[in-house]
Structures are given as C-alpha cells and as structure tokens.
Chain A
Amino acid sequence: MITLGQLVLSGIFIGSIYALMSMGLTLIFGVLRVVNFAHGEFLMLAMYGAWAITRLLGLNPYIAAIAIVPAMFLFGAIVHQIIVRPALDKPHLVVVFATMGLSIFMQNVALMIMTADLWDVPPIFDHSVAIGPFYFKAELLVGFVVTILCTLFLRWLIRSTYLGKAIRATVQDGEAAMLMGIPVQRIFLITFASGSALVGLAACMMMPLFSVFPTVGLNFVLIAFVIVVLGGMGSIEGALIGGVCIGVVQSMSSYYVAPAYGQMFYFILFLLVMIFRPNGLLGQKGAATLGIND
C-alpha cells in the first residue's frame, strides 16, 4: 500500500511538471489554432539557458527563471513575427512544415554548438522531503507548487482581466473580435510569446531533474502532445489533469512493467483517446473534427 501511494504521488508530481511544459502548447493551440512542432526545441533552448546560467554564474535554475522567462517571451515573439505570422493566412500545412523545419533547425544548431553530450546541474536540495510515510525529491515538490500557482494565475488572467477577455473573444470569433476593435494580431503575438515564456518556466523547473541534450525536446514534446490532446486541446485545466494522468501511468508502468513499455502505454492511451474521445477528457465538443484543416 505504501508503494502504491508513493507511486501515485510521485506520478502526480512529475505529471504536474509535464503539465507545466504542455501549457504553452495548449495555450497557443487554443488561441491561434496552430500546433507548434518546435515546442520541444523551445524547451531545449530554455534548458540550455538555465544550465548555462547555473554553471557560468553559479546560480541555481530557479533563480535563472527570472532571466529565462522574459528571454523566452522575446524569443517566442521573434519566432511568431518571422515564421508563424506569415504562415497564418496560408493553408494549414504551411505552418506545420514551417514549425517542423524550425524544430530540425534548432536541434541541429544545438548539436553543432553544444555537441551531443548530456549536461546537468548539481542537485539543489541535499535531502528528500517526507510527507507522512512518503519521501520525495524536493525539486519535484517545487515543480508541483509552481505548476499549481501557474494554473491559478493563468485562470485568473483569462477569466478576470481585460487581456483575458480579449483572448476569449478572439477564440470565440476572430472576425467579430476584430470588428470590436480587438487587435487580433497583437493578441496572437502575446499568446505565442506567453506560450514560449511558459515553456521557459517549465525548463527551469525541469533542469534540476533531467539532463539537457540537443534532442531532449523530442522526448518531451511527444509527452506534451499526448497531454494536450488528453486534456482537450486549448484547455489549461485539462492540461493539468492530462499531465497528472500521464505521470501516474508512467510511474505505475515503469514499476510494474518494464520502463521501455511505459512509453508505449501512453502512446497507446493517446491513440485510444483519439479513437473514443477525440475531444480529449475535458475538451470542447467537436474540437478534433472542427475544420482546422480547411
């Protein structure tokens, strides 16, 4: 029983960190209706940034977030202006291939500059935290708390601020929003940049737990896609629930079954959700068959 509780709780904590990583993706999809295939490489870039600040300045990744989050916001804004915005009024394929190209580009630039070596940062806390009979890495708990705070903040931002209102109006009907004087292009820019900033924050939470290497993004972006679809694309709370599901599935299957097959489980889970609930667990009705393609 203790083992089971330990597994479920660590699954929830690691899953919440995955959720934080997926929130940017789901936010961008929800508003712009594009999938950023370079999301994993944004994570990779931010992880290298957090690693460099930790190593060169002798700080830790949590403090690095103060610099990384605005830097990723800026980076996202630049990518939006150069690549995503010109592709928005073209057929859907264009943005898929353009972000895919960006993903391969960033991966290989990282390979040329940083080589394929794995880099990590020294542990930040020297002992685990005990909650009742269970023990956890303190880094996991920090990630969990940050994710919860971030979810609450985004919820407040979207529901209670003027910016949030403008974003919701853009999602509901872009043309009508434009006629009401909402600068839709600027909303797109802010959303894309915020999504990138969120993945920057996630990278700082993940740096103490994982190594960074040029293709690190590929491993995590597949998890992020699964989470985003599970949670119903575009839903922040859904991403949190989807992330926790994946975390629990991963920690249970790597204990009870072989870890290699653990990965297979969540891809099969993903395909099953696509077959039986294509709108995700919490998603809006018709999201998956909405004419995104047209």
Chain B
Amino acid sequence: MPGPHPYQLVSARSPLVWPRRGGSLSIFEIGIFVACVAIAMIGFSQNLQDIVVLTFLWAGLALAWNIAGGYAGLISFGHAAFFGIGAYTSTILFLRLGLSPWIGVWCGGLLSAGFGAGLAIICARLRGPFFILSTLAAAEVARIGALNWASLTGGPEGLSIPPVAGIANMVFASKTPYVFLMLAFLAAVYAVTKGLEASRYGYYLYSVRDDVDAASAAGVNPLAVRTAAMALSAGLTGIGGSLFAQYFLYLDPTFLISPDLSFQFALLAAVGGLGTAIGPVLGSFLITPMSELLRSYLGSQAAGLHLVIYSALLIVVMLYFPSGIVGALGRISGRGRNL
C-alpha cells in the first residue's frame, strides 16, 4: 500500500476557508443585499435585466453547490443532474397534471434532495477524485436517461411551457417579477447557508470535512452528515432548476444536465471562495455579468471566447488565490474575517 503523497505530508494543512463565525450578518453583507434590492427595483432594459436574473440565479445555485462542495467537502461535478431533475419535475407536473409551479417547485426540490441523498449514501465513503468521478458518472446516467425516456421528458426535443402569463402559472410578461423571484431564491439560500454556519450541524460538517477520523471518534456519524448535506444541496439546486424552467419556458436536456453546467456551479463557488457564504455570491456577481456581456457582444464572431477568459481566470485564481475572491480581498484589506 503506497504511503501518503509527500507534498501532503510536507505542507501545513492550509484550509481553503476562513475561520467560521456565528450566523450574524456583517455590514458588508447587508450593503450587498441593499444594492441587490436597489438593482432589482431599477427598471433596466430587457437585456440588462436578463443578466441580473441570471446573476442572481447562478449565485443561488453556486451557494447551493457550496453547501456540499465547500462546507461538507463533497466536490460534486454532477449537480446539473439535480438541476435537471428539479426543472423536469415542476414542468412535467404542470404540463400533465396542471399543478401550479408554485407547488411543483417544492416537489422538484424534494425529488432532487432524494436523489442527492441516494448518491451520497452510495458514494460518500469514496474520497477525492473517486467521489468526483462518481458524481460525474451519475450525472451522465441522468442525462442519457433524460435524452432517451422520450415519453416522459420529450427526449432530445425537450419540453416547452406555454407562455401564458399569470401568477398561478409562475409565468410573467415582464422580467421584473423574475428579478425579484431569483433575488428571493438567492436570499433564501443565503439564509440557509448562514443558518447552517451558526448551527450545531454546521460544526458537524466542518469536522467531517477537515478530519473524518477525528469526527467519527468524537461521535459524529460521517455518512449521516454527508448524506444530509448532499440532500440539502441537491434540494436547493432542484428548486433553482424549477425556477430556471419557469424563466426560460423551454427545457433542453443537453443543456440542463450537461457536465458544463455542473462545472459552472463549482467554478463560481471556487472563484468566489469555497466554504464561505459570501464567496459564491461574489463569484457569480463578478463572472456571470462578464461572461454574459462577452457572450452577447462577441458571441457570434468568437464562439467560446467568454469561456476561454472564464477558464484562464479560474486557473490563475486557483493557483495564486486558492481561497478565491474572499481570500484575496481578505489578504488585501487584512480584514478577511470581517467579510
């Protein structure tokens, strides 16, 4: 049996995250929230509002990913599967049974949470790359399933939600209600994350992430903790998927359950700062508008340019600022703990 990697012995255990604090909000966080509400109130043009909607939604989803990836140490590259399950569940319930998406969203969340828990029970004892590869494989199974189970999911053609505006349908004619909807989602996921940080359960997550053996010796059940974290993360991702479906009104399986989307959740969280509440939000606020603007201005001439910039940024951030924007800001201001 090979010994541990030399560099893991040599290097000091440098956690990627800042020391935890209680669940209270700092002035910085309140300031960001006020700015978000102000941005939501201002009537921008349709294109800009589109970017605002996506920025809020991806921020919420990166936060949801962060509960598993940042807090519990379960790096998943399969979260697009939960996103897709949420989107399909609420849409299919609405199209087949006429169930209002306001209820369907919760069904999607619950079903995703169930799948998340199942995946965690199967895979959570695997470590490092093995867990990552298993989540990738599970998402591929979901994607191939969605593409081929045409009687339920519409197969490769996807599903369309009729664009009939109405509060009961959760379909709106203007983009402003969507801005508030996504902001509410972001605020809710943020509240869950802060609540988690402050709770006893948050300590379980940190202990299992940082040292499984010590955590089990102290009486924490790693499998239960990881399963719950994955279920929570998957459930919130599923809710995000349902909201996405209500915004786009069209479900395309090759986009919904693509590895690219899974990577995106992880990248936003990693660039912002893993295991922090504000990190994924800052990550999305920085990257989503940039990549959307680049896509809309350069899109047709330079397909892929926004992703080239995106990925180059990721490499630089990971190599030089492994604790993300939050860590970099903390290093500059010397007040990282106050963020």
A interface residue numbers (CB < 8 A to B): 29, 32-35, 83, 86-94, 96-98, 100-105, 107-109, 111-112, 115-116, 171-178, 184, 214, 218, 222, 225-226, 229, 233, 258, 260-261, 263-264, 267-268, 270-271, 274-275, 278, 284-286, 288-294
Find out whether the CB atom of A90 lies under 8 angstroms from the CB atom of B3. no
Within the complex, which residue of B211, B266, B318 is in contact with A98, where a contact is CB–CB below 8 Å? B318
Expressed in whole angstroms, the Cα–Cα distance for A288 and B124 within the complex equals 11
User: Contact mask B1-32 → A, CB, 8 Å, 1/0?
Assistant: 11111111111001110000000000000000
Of the four ranges (under 10, 10 to 19, 20 to 34, 35 or more), the interface on chain B belongs to 35 or more
Known: A97-B318, A270-B137. A260 touches B147 (CB 8 A): yes
Find out whether the CB atom of B14 lies under 8 angstroms from the CB atom of A90. yes
Chain A residues positioned under 8 Å from B263 (CB to CB):
100, 104
User: Contact mask B251-267 → A, CB, 8 Å, 1/0?
Assistant: 00000000110010011
Can you give 30 contacting A-B residue pairs, CB < 8 Å? A33-B5, A34-B129, A94-B319, A101-B311, A101-B314, A101-B318, A104-B260, A108-B304, A111-B303, A172-B3, A177-B6, A222-B136, A222-B140, A225-B133, A229-B130, A258-B148, A263-B144, A264-B141, A271-B134, A274-B126, A274-B130, A275-B123, A278-B130, A289-B125, A290-B2, A290-B4, A290-B127, A292-B5, A292-B129, A293-B127
Find out whether the CB atom of A225 lies under 8 angstroms from the CB atom of B138. no
Find out whether the CB atom of A92 lies under 8 angstroms from the CB atom of B128. yes
Find out whether the CB atom of A222 lies under 8 angstroms from the CB atom of B266. no
User: Contact mask B204-247 → A, CB, 8 Å, 1/0?
Assistant: 00000001000000000000000000000000000000000000
Find out whether the CB atom of B7 lies under 8 angstroms from the CB atom of A89. yes
- Most chain A beta-carbon contacts within 10 A, residue among B4, B6, B10, B303: B6
Within the complex, which residue of B10, B123, B129, B314 is in contact with A89, where a contact is CB–CB below 8 Å? B10
Within the complex, which residue of A112, A174, A264, A275 is in contact with B6, where a contact is CB–CB below 8 Å? A174
Chain B residues positioned under 8 Å from A291 (CB to CB):
4, 8, 127
Find out whether the CB atom of A218 lies under 8 angstroms from the CB atom of B138. no
Given known contacts A97-B266, A105-B312, A214-B304, what 19 new A-B pairs fall within 8 Å (CB)? A87-B318, A89-B11, A94-B322, A97-B318, A98-B318, A101-B267, A111-B304, A116-B303, A178-B6, A222-B140, A233-B130, A264-B141, A274-B130, A274-B137, A278-B130, A289-B126, A290-B2, A290-B127, A291-B127
B interface residue numbers (CB < 8 A to A): 1-11, 14-16, 73, 75, 122-123, 125-130, 132-134, 136-138, 140-141, 144-145, 147-148, 211, 259-260, 263, 266-267, 270, 274, 302-305, 307-308, 310-312, 314-315, 318-319, 322
Expressed in whole angstroms, the Cα–Cα distance for A285 and B144 within the complex equals 32
Find out whether the CB atom of A91 lies under 8 angstroms from the CB atom of B16. yes
Chain B residues positioned under 8 Å from A225 (CB to CB):
133, 136-137
Residue of chain B at shortest CB distance from A108 = B304
Expressed in whole angstroms, the Cα–Cα distance for A218 and B140 within the complex equals 11
Expressed in whole angstroms, the Cα–Cα distance for A267 and B148 within the complex equals 15
Find out whether the CB atom of B304 lies under 8 angstroms from the CB atom of A184. no
Within the complex, which residue of B3, B266, B302, B315 is in contact with A174, where a contact is CB–CB below 8 Å? B3
Find out whether the CB atom of A104 lies under 8 angstroms from the CB atom of B311. yes
Find out whether the CB atom of A93 lies under 8 angstroms from the CB atom of B130. no
A213 to chain B minimum Cβ distance, whole angstroms, is 13
Expressed in whole angstroms, the Cα–Cα distance for A32 and B16 within the complex equals 21
Find out whether the CB atom of A264 lies under 8 angstroms from the CB atom of B315. no
Find out whether the CB atom of A261 lies under 8 angstroms from the CB atom of B144. yes
Expressed in whole angstroms, the Cα–Cα distance for A274 and B7 within the complex equals 27
Expressed in whole angstroms, the Cα–Cα distance for A100 and B265 within the complex equals 13
Known: A174-B6, A291-B4. A271 touches B274 (CB 8 A): no
Residue of chain A at shortest CB distance from B263 = A100
Expressed in whole angstroms, the Cα–Cα distance for A251 and B266 within the complex equals 34
Chain B residues positioned under 8 Å from A115 (CB to CB):
303
Find out whether the CB atom of B144 lies under 8 angstroms from the CB atom of A91. no
Residue of chain B at shortest CB distance from A86 = B319
Within the complex, which residue of A109, A267, A286 is in contact with B140, where a contact is CB–CB below 8 Å? A267
Expressed in whole angstroms, the Cα–Cα distance for A193 and B148 within the complex equals 40
Find out whether the CB atom of B3 lies under 8 angstroms from the CB atom of A104. no
Known: A93-B75, A293-B73. A274 touches B128 (CB 8 A): no
Known: A102-B315, A104-B310, A274-B122. A261 touches B148 (CB 8 A): yes
Chain B residues positioned under 8 Å from A88 (CB to CB):
5, 7
- Most chain B beta-carbon contacts within 10 A, residue among A98, A172, A177: A98
- Most chain A beta-carbon contacts within 10 A, residue among B7, B129, B136, B319: B129
A44 to chain B minimum Cβ distance, whole angstroms, is 13
